[in-house]
């Protein structure tokens, strides 16, 4: 049975890498704007549809699909920020945080309904870069696409780390995350960096969805699943912490697979929720979140 | 807001009065030429199985077109009142009631999911209107012996019983039933566990999973690790494809016996690819089936209208419609109560043979047509369709 | 010696490594008004927050009307006779002025009807009757500060902590405030008032406490404190 | 609006229920109105919780679903009459809501929507997967209060429940609790500092609104007679949120306006198919959120400026 254990652990880690990629954008945006974006999953869903369009309909190579997904995700995220969120967080209303949740929640419902209307409910499939099942030493079984997706996810998160810790954009982001008022005082243009954060957030979500597509399917309601996973990850990891997001993504992947295999196969999604509730009750700021009030 | 409430009720009042007026006018003026209305309550949108709903609607539209083209039933034109049940039990029940009370449907057809059908049966009973099932497999649908409920199509315990000899003949000792957590998945799993008691040397394990899942790798890893001889997959198309693809991905070596005609859907090969080779699927359809003249008319018209062949469940649906037609012709009335009385005794030429209902009260074979054969077919290479698939066993 | 209504001993509070309040001993007698002054960042507001229970002290004790209220949630000292106003006014934006004021009576145990009728009188006293039904969001900054004073009338506290009551208000309103403070002091309410408006607050108080870097830099009568070179240095620095 | 009008509204609903039951509506219209009562109870109580107490919980539909399944359990396994469940379930769900309130006290701001979202999600998975208990998507059938398809009693009951809701709402908003809740909504710290017992107020708000949600769920179960996990979905929660927001969050009659608007739209566009209905409703809700941020009521009342203050709470 060690084979099953090792296999599950590995599957969980690989899956977790993608969860982390789905979630980093959400975490980034929250850190900078204190906005919990319920439409994040739809950035991913529309990104994967863009990939299907480019690869399936236009017949371009698979890697262009990844780019298309990232671009589409980024564009939609940008539009969401400008059209839906900015009017709210620039307004003088109370409980902006809660209100942006309602706005993005309704936006998400709208995008799902609109996508269902325009694309139909058909499940679509995207070819992967490495469409092959591997049997490593006849012990570990994996698809090549899963490895590609994981490697790409880790590379993208590494890139984000580089941006956050080594570039001016990243320094501004960090300043905004730690002290929004102070950052504004020293002349950091919140709008500009919020836009950049949304662009990055959408691009990561779209890319993650396009990497997941060869393993799963593309369909209008797929964003809901992506959103739920991303939420669980950012809450466990701590809203606004990229390091925490990576760790929590891997943790969620492993917990889901392990509990599914060793406890009950019928409750896969419930394990993530249970983990999230436990973390929120015992450490409301998340495993890597800073103490003190986040909002 | 007080005014608004007033408006609503006034509007409702007006609407109901107008409706009543129209009905009176309709019944008074031209009774002989009055149209026959049939209610079609099907899953036309998510979360229902909208794909199958679409196929149902196409079949129904075609039938109505052909019948009306040939002069209707007894000179009366037929029209459909279409309602969406969204795959939800409560929506299905209220849609059916609307079909009866608003559209005055003579009979209700097109139901798909067993759970919706079970809720609709109460409505059928309450209003005494025939409810025609065709591909809803729950035993309870006919086992409850409601006089208004009829089924031309298979049911779980019979399917499961026919599956057992196949499992025995293939020499499977350890079988995993992978069932989604719905009426479709768990209903079959239960029936199979029951039926397999007839073969004591076969062990069965039921592995349940969330129907809306997008990732079955963990579940399939567990299944693979228990090293079964065969996995019977009982779920709808998306999870069917996932379980095959992801099962092979995690090293599942067992034979996969998958749900009904899902492998014939156009997206099967494009989604599962190589992993689909060797999959066995049971079906009620085979080129060897003796298609009657009625059946040929249906298939030809369907191909002409939609450019592809109908699936087997659409044959049964066609027979459902013809059963209602036969009952109207026999009783000379489209009154629902009359049809309830007449339907048990109708016989007519169905698409794949003569149709008549078994009427054994107290059993599942009540208002039930059961003359179907089950074929087990194997897909031997990528792209195999119904014609290429190898027939490995027939259960009658 | 008059009754002591508020006393802190060795009060300390740090945020991270930042010692905001660094051992403050403070006493307030019934009917007394103490001005708390000091440069920005001296810890004045933090000090009030500690007394009111909004922050939990790391060390030290707080006695309110003879009972220990250290480490208690803010609603407890409030119910035991502590009133606190906020720098930006403590109005609830979507509630009307009268509701805002009535709350102060309700936490004292009045029913809503009774509290609202008392609130109406208090609003008349501060001159806000015409806007009694306006949501607080629609009021000016000065009017919102007057709401605090109307609440003060309803709350009937033992101790009132006022945080910058006069910042940005016109002289007429300042006069209303002064009158209310005088009236309440006559009834034995002890006041601790943070203000940057030194002439105004020095005109009211007997005693001044100067805070700097979380410590008491100087204390005494207005004249003594004004003459203290250490105070001059702190303000100039 | 004067207090008297507020007290007349419940009577109006009871009278409307009685009147409509005598008229004999078509089943489809009766269905529309009766289920609108279900949504009114939900959107209304959510408005009390989110709009008045500032606690944005996403578990409200979950509580209603718990009330519905609890009703089924009491009727099927406990052999109780449906009428008894209409009394028992609100109390039982109030306890559940109190538990949620305890959670709410642990977290603040945007974490509350998230954790309640997680609770509802976990409950939804349970309902579908634990099919031995809940019968999963097979649906759980229970006898209705009135056998058959006569809706007149439900119209009366619906009118009474809607009236009851407005009585409870008047009692809350015009009473002490309502003011304390709104103070917490507007500024929790200041309210706390003024002596408001945050703990008690939040728990009370959660329990009372949960009781109303439980009542809604019990009413739903007793009326529809069949329950399925699809009752608890994020789409349904979105529907309730949309009703409250469109009408005007934090306004006494906001949810009522929202329910009337959305249910009317739904009634008139239903022929287009469920996807169109959803696109239209969520689209309108989104537009309201973006352009009439405080909902239809605030927009209309702004057109009549003299009334402004009166309309608020």
Q: Where do runs of H (alpha helix) occur along A167-263? A: 168-178, 180-185, 190-212, 222-237, 242-262
Chain D residues within 8 A of B119 when measuring between CB atoms: 139, 141, 225-226
Q: Does C70 lie in the same domain as C19? A: yes
The token pair that represents B388 in the structure block: 């290429």
Taking residue B123's Cβ as centre, other Cβ atoms within 10 Å add up to: 24
Q: Provide the shortest C-alpha distance from residue A61 to chain D (in Å).
A: 33
Top pLDDT among A287 and B266 is at A287
- Sequence-ordered list of residues with C-beta below 8 angstroms from that of B266, at least 6 positions apart, any chain: none
- Sequence-ordered list of residues with C-beta below 8 angstroms from that of D162, at least 6 positions apart, any chain: D10, D13, D17, D37, D40, D41
Residue among B106, B109, B161, B171 nearest B139 (CA): B161
When pLDDT is averaged across residues C37-52 and rounded to a whole number, the result is 89
Residue D313 has pLDDT above 80, yes or no: no
Which phi and psi (to 5°) does residue B354 adopt? -65, 140
Q: Does B139 lie in the same domain as B183? A: no
pLDDT value at residue B21:
40
Which pLDDT band, with edges at 50, 70 and 90, does B14 fall under? very low
Closest in A94, A106, A267 to D289, CB measured: A106
Percent of chain B with pLDDT over 70: 91
Which pLDDT band, with edges at 50, 70 and 90, does B266 fall under? confident
Range of the domain at B127: 31-154+293-356
Q: Is residue C86 assigned to a domain?
A: no
| Integer-rounded Cα radius of gyration of chain A | 19
Q: For residue range B45-62, list pLDDT tens digits in order.
A: 877 888 888 899 999 999
Residue B4 has pLDDT above 50, yes or no: no
Is A142 near chain D, with CB under 8 Å? no
Q: List C residues 118-157 in contact with D (Cβ-Cβ < 8 A).
A: 133-135, 151
When pLDDT is averaged across residues A223-246 and rounded to a whole number, the result is 87
Residue B13 has pLDDT above 50, yes or no: no
Q: Chains C and D: how many Cβ contacts under 8 Å?
A: 82
Q: Does B189 lie in the same domain as B104? A: no
Is D117 near chain A, with CB under 8 Å? yes
User: Which partners does chain C have (≥3 C-beta pairs < 8 Å)?
Assistant: D
Q: Provide the shortest C-alpha distance from residue A68 to chain D (in Å).
A: 26
Residue C8 has pLDDT above 90, yes or no: yes
Q: Which one of B2, B15, B43, B136 would you mutate to disrupt binding with D, by most D Cβ within 10 Å of its Cβ?
A: B2
Q: Is residue B203 assigned to a domain?
A: yes
Which pLDDT band, with edges at 50, 70 and 90, does D69 fall under? very high
Which pLDDT band, with edges at 50, 70 and 90, does D65 fall under? very high
Q: Does B98 lie in the same domain as B58? A: yes
pLDDT value at residue B23:
41
Where does a domain end: C133, C156, C179?
C156
Which phi and psi (to 5°) does residue A5 adopt? -65, -50
Q: Is residue C87 assigned to a domain?
A: no
Chain D residues within 8 A of C78 when measuring between CB atoms: 193-195
Taking residue C130's Cβ as centre, other Cβ atoms within 10 Å add up to: 10
Closest in D174, D186, D309 to C92, CB measured: D186
Residue D243 has pLDDT above 60, yes or no: yes
Range of the domain at C123: 92-156
> Could you give the C-alpha distances from B373 to B137, B347, B353, B360, D132, in angstroms and in order?
15, 19, 11, 20, 32
Mean pLDDT across chain A: 87
Q: Is residue C186 assigned to a domain?
A: yes
Indicate the SS3 state at residue C29.
Answer: strand
> Could you give the C-alpha distances from A154 to A20, A149, B249, C172, in angstroms and in order?
9, 9, 22, 65
Which pLDDT band, with edges at 50, 70 and 90, does C1 fall under? low
CA distance A288 to A284: 10
User: Are residues A113 and D245, on separate chains, in Cβ contact within 8 Å?
Assistant: no
Percent of chain C with pLDDT over 90: 54
When pLDDT is averaged across residues C44-50 and rounded to a whole number, the result is 91
Beta strands in C38-146 (DSSP E): 59-64, 67-68, 82-84
Residue B3 has pLDDT above 70, yes or no: no
Is B118 near chain D, with CB under 8 Å? yes
When pLDDT is averaged across residues A276-281 and rounded to a whole number, the result is 84
Where does a domain end: C156, C171, C195?
C156
The token pair that represents A14 in the structure block: 């690989």
- Sequence-ordered list of residues with C-beta below 8 angstroms from that of D241, at least 6 positions apart, any chain: A102, A105, A106, D46, D285
Residue D307 has pLDDT above 50, yes or no: no
The token pair that represents B130 in the structure block: 């025939």
Q: Indicate the number of domains in chain B.
A: 2
Closest in A94, A110, A269 to D286, CB measured: A110
Closest in A3, A116, A133 to B225, CB measured: A3
Q: Topology of A2-282 in CATH? A: ABC transporter involved in vitamin B12 uptake, BtuC (1.10.3470)
The DSSP bridge partners found for residue C22 are C12
User: Are residues D27 and B102, on separate chains, in Cβ contact within 8 Å?
Assistant: yes
Q: Does B174 lie in the same domain as B279? A: yes
Residue C90 has pLDDT above 50, yes or no: yes
User: Which partners does chain A have (≥3 C-beta pairs < 8 Å)?
Assistant: B, D
Q: Provide the shortest C-alpha distance from residue A227 to chain B (in Å).
A: 13
Q: Provide the shortest C-alpha distance from residue D224 to chain B (in Å).
A: 7
Which pLDDT band, with edges at 50, 70 and 90, does D271 fall under? low
Q: How many residues does chain B have?
A: 396
Residue B254 has pLDDT above 60, yes or no: yes
pLDDT value at residue B185:
87
Closest-CA residue of C relative to D310 is: C133
Q: Does B222 lie in the same domain as B91? A: no
pLDDT value at residue A257:
93
Q: Does B182 lie in the same domain as B119? A: no
Q: Does B184 lie in the same domain as B93? A: no
Chain D residues within 8 A of B140 when measuring between CB atoms: none
pLDDT value at residue B9:
38
pLDDT value at residue D169:
96
CA distance B290 to B284: 12
Mean pLDDT across chain B: 84
Q: Does C232 lie in the same domain as C137? A: no
Q: Does C165 lie in the same domain as C74? A: yes
User: Are residues D194 and C112, on separate chains, in Cβ contact within 8 Å?
Assistant: no
Q: Does the predicted TM-score (pTM) go above 0.90?
A: no
Q: List A residues 210-229 in contact with D (Cβ-Cβ < 8 A).
A: 224, 228
Which pLDDT band, with edges at 50, 70 and 90, does D180 fall under? very high
Q: Does C49 lie in the same domain as C110? A: no
When pLDDT is averaged across residues B310-330 and rounded to a whole number, the result is 91
Top pLDDT among C16 and A275 is at A275
pLDDT value at residue D216:
97
Is B122 near chain D, with CB under 8 Å? yes
User: Are residues D193 and C75, on separate chains, in Cβ contact within 8 Å?
Assistant: yes
User: Are residues D12 and B44, on separate chains, in Cβ contact within 8 Å?
Assistant: no
Q: List B residues 191-250 in contact with A (Cβ-Cβ < 8 A).
A: 207-210, 212-215, 217-219, 221-222, 224-225, 237-238, 241-242, 246, 248-250
Which pLDDT band, with edges at 50, 70 and 90, does B382 fall under? confident
The C-alpha torsion from A23 through A24 and A28 to A30, rounded to 10°, is 20
User: Are residues D241 and A294, on separate chains, in Cβ contact within 8 Å?
Assistant: no
- Sequence-ordered list of residues with C-beta below 8 angstroms from that of A159, at least 6 positions apart, any chain: none
Q: Does C162 lie in the same domain as C151? A: no
Closest-CA residue of D relative to B119 is: D226
Q: For residue range C116-172, list pLDDT tens digits in order.
A: 999 999 999 999 999 999 999 889 888 999 999 999 999 999 999 999 998 888 899
Residue D305 has pLDDT above 60, yes or no: no
Q: Does C34 lie in the same domain as C75? A: yes
Residue B27 has pLDDT above 70, yes or no: no
Closest in D174, D194, D250 to C103, CB measured: D194
Residue B1 has pLDDT above 60, yes or no: no
Q: Provide the shortest C-alpha distance from residue B177 to chain A (in Å).
A: 12
Is C66 near chain D, with CB under 8 Å? no
Q: For residue range B204-217, list pLDDT tens digits in order.
A: 999 999 887 878 88
Asked if D206 contacts D49 with a C-beta cutoff of 8 angstroms, the reply is: yes
Q: For residue range D107-159, list pLDDT tens digits in order.
A: 777 778 888 888 898 899 899 888 888 888 778 888 888 877 888 899 999 99
pLDDT value at residue A130:
82
Residue B17 has pLDDT above 50, yes or no: no
Chain B residues within 8 A of D32 when measuring between CB atoms: 12
Is D122 near chain A, with CB under 8 Å? yes
Q: For residue range B133-158, list pLDDT tens digits in order.
A: 998 888 889 999 999 999 998 898 88
Q: Does B149 lie in the same domain as B234? A: no
Please state the three-class secondary structure of chain B as a single string.
CHHHHHHHHHHHHHHHHHHHHHHHHHHHHCCCCCCEEEEEEECCCCCCCHHHHHHHHHHHHHHHHHHHHCCCECCECEEEEEEECCCCHHHHHHHHHHHHHCCCCCCEECCCCHHHHHHHHHHHHHHCCCEEECCCCCCHHHHCCCCCEEEECCCHHHHHHHHHHHHHHCCCCEEEEEEECCHHHHHHHHHHHHHHHHCCCCEEEEEEECCCCCCCHHHHHHHHHCCCCEEEEECCHHHHHHHHHHHHHCCCCCEEECCCCHHHCCHHHHHHHHHHCCCEEEECCCCCCCCCHHHHHHHHHHHHHHCCCCCHHHHHHHHHHHHHHHHHHHHCCCCHHHHHHHHHHCEEECCCCEEECEECCCCCCEEEECCCCEEEEECCCCCCCCCCCEEEEEEC
Q: Does B143 lie in the same domain as B85? A: yes
Which pLDDT band, with edges at 50, 70 and 90, does B102 fall under? confident
Q: Provide the shortest C-alpha distance from residue A216 to chain B (in Å).
A: 6
Which pLDDT band, with edges at 50, 70 and 90, does D304 fall under? low
Top pLDDT among A204 and C233 is at A204
Q: Does C223 lie in the same domain as C194? A: yes
Percent of chain A with pLDDT over 70: 97
- In this structure, what CATH number is given to the domain that contains residue B40? 3.40.50.2300
Q: Does C184 lie in the same domain as C77? A: yes
Residue C109 has pLDDT above 60, yes or no: yes
Which pLDDT band, with edges at 50, 70 and 90, does B242 fall under? confident
Q: For residue range A102-147, list pLDDT tens digits in order.
A: 899 889 989 988 998 898 777 788 888 887 777 888 788 888 888 9
Q: Is residue C134 assigned to a domain?
A: yes
Q: Do chains A and B have 3 or more beta-carbon pairs under 8 angstroms?
A: yes
Is D245 near chain A, with CB under 8 Å? yes
Indicate the SS3 state at residue C66.
Answer: coil
Q: Does B206 lie in the same domain as B58? A: no
Which pLDDT band, with edges at 50, 70 and 90, does D273 fall under? low
My answer on whether omega of the bond before B47 falls inside 30° of 0, hence cis, is yes
Residue labelled with tokens 């919990």: A36
Q: Indicate the number of domains in chain C.
A: 2
Is A149 near chain B, with CB under 8 Å? no
Asked if B168 contacts B336 with a C-beta cutoff of 8 angstroms, the reply is: no
Top pLDDT among D131 and B172 is at B172
Is D100 near chain A, with CB under 8 Å? no
The token pair that represents C211 in the structure block: 């805070």
User: Are residues B51 and A122, on separate chains, in Cβ contact within 8 Å?
Assistant: yes
Q: Chains B and D: how many Cβ contacts under 8 Å?
A: 118
When pLDDT is averaged across residues A14-27 and rounded to a whole number, the result is 91
Percent of chain A with pLDDT over 90: 42
Is A190 near chain D, with CB under 8 Å? no
- In this structure, what CATH number is given to the domain that contains residue C46? 3.40.50.300
Residue among A54, A55, A43, A87 nearest A194 (CA): A87
Task: Tell me the CB-side half-sphere exposure of residue A98, using CA atoms within 13 A.
Answer: 22
User: Which partners does chain B have (≥3 C-beta pairs < 8 Å)?
Assistant: A, D
Q: Does B250 lie in the same domain as B224? A: yes
pLDDT value at residue B274:
83
Q: Does B190 lie in the same domain as B91? A: no
| Lowest-confidence pick of A136-150, A252-266, D205-219 | A136-150
- Strands B203-209 and C67-68 turn out to be unpaired
| Lowest-confidence pick of A140-144, B329-333, D75-79 | A140-144
Q: For residue range A173-212, list pLDDT tens digits in order.
A: 888 887 777 777 777 888 888 899 999 999 999 999 999 8
Residue A170 has pLDDT above 50, yes or no: yes
Where does a domain end: C121, C139, C156?
C156
Closest in A112, A267, A294 to D129, CB measured: A267
Q: Which one of B49, B214, B243, B382 would you mutate to disrupt binding with A, by most A Cβ within 10 Å of its Cβ?
A: B214
């Amino acid at each position: 049975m060690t084979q099953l254990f090792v296999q599950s652990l590995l599957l969980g880690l690989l899956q977790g890498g993608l969860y982390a990629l789905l979630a980093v954008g959400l975490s980034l945006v929250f850190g900078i704007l204190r906005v919990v974006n319920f439409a994040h999953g739809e950035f991913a869903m529309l990104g994967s549809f863009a990939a299907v369009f480019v690869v399936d309909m236009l017949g371009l190579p698979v890697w262009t699909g990844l780019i298309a997904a990232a671009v589409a995700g980024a564009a939609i995220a940008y539009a969401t920020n400008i059209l839906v969120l900015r009017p709210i967080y620039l307004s003088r209303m109370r409980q902006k945080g809660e209100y942006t949740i309602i706005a993005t929640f309704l936006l998400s419902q709208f995008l799902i309904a609109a996508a269902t209307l325009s694309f139909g409910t058909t499940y679509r499939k995207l070819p992967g870069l490495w469409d092959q099942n591997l049997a490593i030493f006849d012990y570990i079984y994996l698809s090549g696409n899963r490895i590609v997706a994981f490697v790409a996810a880790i590379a993208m998160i590494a890139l984000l780390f580089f941006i956050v810790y080594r570039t001016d954009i990243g320094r501004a982001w960090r300043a905004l995350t730690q002290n929004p008022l102070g950052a504004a005082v020293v002349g950091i243009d919140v709008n500009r960096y919020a836009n950049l954060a949304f662009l990055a957030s959408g691009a990561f979500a779209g890319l993650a969805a396009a990497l997941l597509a060869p393993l799963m399917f593309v369909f209008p309601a797929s964003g809901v699943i992506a959103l739920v996973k991303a939420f669980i990850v950012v809450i466990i990891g701590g809203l606004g912490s990229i390091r925490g997001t990576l760790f929590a993504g891997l943790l969620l992947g492993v917990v889901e697979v392990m509990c599914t295999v060793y406890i009950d196969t019928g409750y896969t999604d419930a394990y993530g929720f249970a983990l999230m509730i436990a973390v929120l009750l015992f450490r409301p700021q998340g495993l890597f979140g800073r103490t003190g009030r986040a909002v | 807001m007080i005014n608004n409430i007033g408006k609503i009720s006034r509007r409702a009042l007006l609407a109901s009065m107008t409706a009543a007026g129209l009905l009176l006018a309709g019944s008074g003026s031209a009774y002989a030429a009055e149209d026959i209305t049939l209610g079609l309550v099907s899953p036309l949108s998510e979360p229902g199985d909208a794909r199958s709903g679409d196929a149902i609607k196409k079949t129904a539209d075609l039938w109505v077109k052909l019948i009306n083209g040939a002069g209707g039933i007894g000179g009366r034109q037929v029209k459909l009142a279409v309602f969406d049940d969204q795959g939800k039990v409560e929506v299905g029940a209220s849609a059916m009631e609307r079909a009866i009370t608003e559209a005055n449907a003579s009979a209700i057809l097109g139901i798909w999911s067993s759970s919706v059908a079970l809720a609709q049966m109460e409505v059928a009973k309450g209003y005494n209107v025939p409810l025609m099932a065709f591909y809803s497999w729950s035993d309870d649908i006919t086992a409850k012996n409601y006089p208004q409920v009829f089924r031309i199509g298979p049911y779980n315990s019979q399917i499961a019983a026919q599956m057992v000899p196949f499992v025995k003949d293939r020499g499977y000792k350890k079988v995993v039933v992978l069932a989604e957590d719905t009426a479709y998945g768990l209903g079959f799993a239960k029936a199979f566990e029951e039926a397999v008691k007839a073969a004591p040397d076969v062990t069965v394990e039921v592995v349940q999973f969330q129907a809306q899942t997008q990732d079955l790798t963990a579940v399939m890893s567990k299944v693979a690790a228990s090293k079964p001889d065969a996995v019977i997959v009982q779920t709808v198309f998306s999870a069917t494809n996932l379980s095959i693809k992801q099962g092979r991905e995690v090293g599942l070596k067992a034979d996969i016996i998958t749900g009904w005609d899902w492998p014939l859907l156009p997206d099967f090969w494009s989604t599962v690819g190589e992993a689909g080779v060797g999959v066995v699927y049971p079906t009620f359809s085979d080129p060897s089936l003796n298609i009657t003249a009625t059946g040929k008319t249906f298939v030809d018209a369907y191909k002409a209208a939609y450019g592809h062949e109908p699936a087997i469940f659409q044959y049964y649906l066609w027979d459902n419609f013809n059963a209602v037609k036969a009952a109207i012709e026999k009783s000379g009335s489209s009154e629902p109560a009359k049809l309830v009385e007449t339907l048990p005794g109708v016989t007519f030429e169905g698409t794949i043979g003569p149709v008549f209902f078994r009427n054994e009260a107290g059993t599942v074979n009540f208002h039930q047509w059961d003359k179907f054969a089950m074929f087990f077919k194997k897909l031997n290479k990528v792209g195999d369709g119904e014609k290429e698939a190898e027939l490995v066993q027939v259960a009658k | 010696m008059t009754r002591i209504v508020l006393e802190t001993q060795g009060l300390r509070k740090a945020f991270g490594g930042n010692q905001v309040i660094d051992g403050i001993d403070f006493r307030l007698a019934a009917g007394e008004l103490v001005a708390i002054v000091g440069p920005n960042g001296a810890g004045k507001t933090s000090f009030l927050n500690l007394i009111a229970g909004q922050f939990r002290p790391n060390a030290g004790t707080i006695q309110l009307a003879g009972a220990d209220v250290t480490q208690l949630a803010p609603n407890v000292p409030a119910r035991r006779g502590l009133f606190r106003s906020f720098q930006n006014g403590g109005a609830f934006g979507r509630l009307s002025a009268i509701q805002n004021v009535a709350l102060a009576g309700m936490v004292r145990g009045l029913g809503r009807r009774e509290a609202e009728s008392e609130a109406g009188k208090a609003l008349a006293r501060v001159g806000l009757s015409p806007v009694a039904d306006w949501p607080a969001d629609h009021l000016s900054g000065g009017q919102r500060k007057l709401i605090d004073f109307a609440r003060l009338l309803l709350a009937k506290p033992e101790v009132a902590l006022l945080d910058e009551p006069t910042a940005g208000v016109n002289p007429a309103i300042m006069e209303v405030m002064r009158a209310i403070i005088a009236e309440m002091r006559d009834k034995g309410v002890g006041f601790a008032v943070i203000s940057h408006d030194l002439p105004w607050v020095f005109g009211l108080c007997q005693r001044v406490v100067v805070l700097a870097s979380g410590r008491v830099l100087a204390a005494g009568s207005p004249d003594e404190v004004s003459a203290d070179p250490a105070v001059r240095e702190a303000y100039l620095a | 609006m004067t207090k008297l009008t507020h007290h007349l509204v419940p009577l109006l609903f009871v009278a409307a229920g009685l009147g409509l039951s005598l008229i004999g509506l078509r089943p489809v219209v009766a269905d529309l109105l009766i289920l609108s009562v279900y949504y009114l109870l939900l959107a209304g109580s959510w408005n009390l919780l989110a709009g008045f107490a500032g606690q944005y919980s996403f578990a409200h539909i979950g509580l209603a679903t718990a009330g519905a399944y609890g009703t089924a359990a009491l009727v099927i396994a406990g052999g109780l009459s449906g009428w008894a469940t209409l009394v028992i379930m609100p109390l039982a769900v109030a306890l559940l809501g109190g538990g949620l309130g305890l959670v709410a006290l642990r977290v603040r701001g945007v974490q509350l929507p998230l954790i309640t979202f997680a609770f509802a999600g976990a409950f939804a998975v349970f309902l579908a997967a634990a099919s031995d208990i809940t019968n999963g998507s097979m649906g759980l059938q229970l006898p209705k209060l009135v056998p058959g398809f006569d809706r007149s009693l439900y119209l009366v009951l619906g009118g009474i429940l809607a009236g009851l809701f407005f009585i409870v709402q008047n009692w809350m908003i015009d009473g002490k609790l309502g003011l304390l809740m709104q103070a917490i909504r507007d500024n929790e710290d200041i309210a706390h500092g003024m002596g408001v017992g945050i703990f008690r107020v939040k728990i009370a708000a959660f329990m009372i609104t949960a009781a109303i949600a439980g009542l809604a769920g019990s009413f739903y179960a007793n009326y529809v007679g069949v329950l399925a996990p699809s009752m608890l979905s994020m789409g349904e929660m979105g529907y309730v949120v949309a009703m409250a927001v469109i009408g005007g969050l934090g306004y006494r009659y906001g949810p009522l306006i929202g329910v009337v608007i959305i249910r009317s739209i739904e009634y008139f566009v239903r022929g287009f198919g469920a996807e169109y209905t959803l696109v239209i409703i969520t689209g309108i809700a989104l537009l309201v959120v973006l352009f009439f941020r405080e909902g239809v009521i605030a927009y209309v009342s702004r057109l009549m400026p003299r009334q402004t203050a009166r309309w608020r709470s």
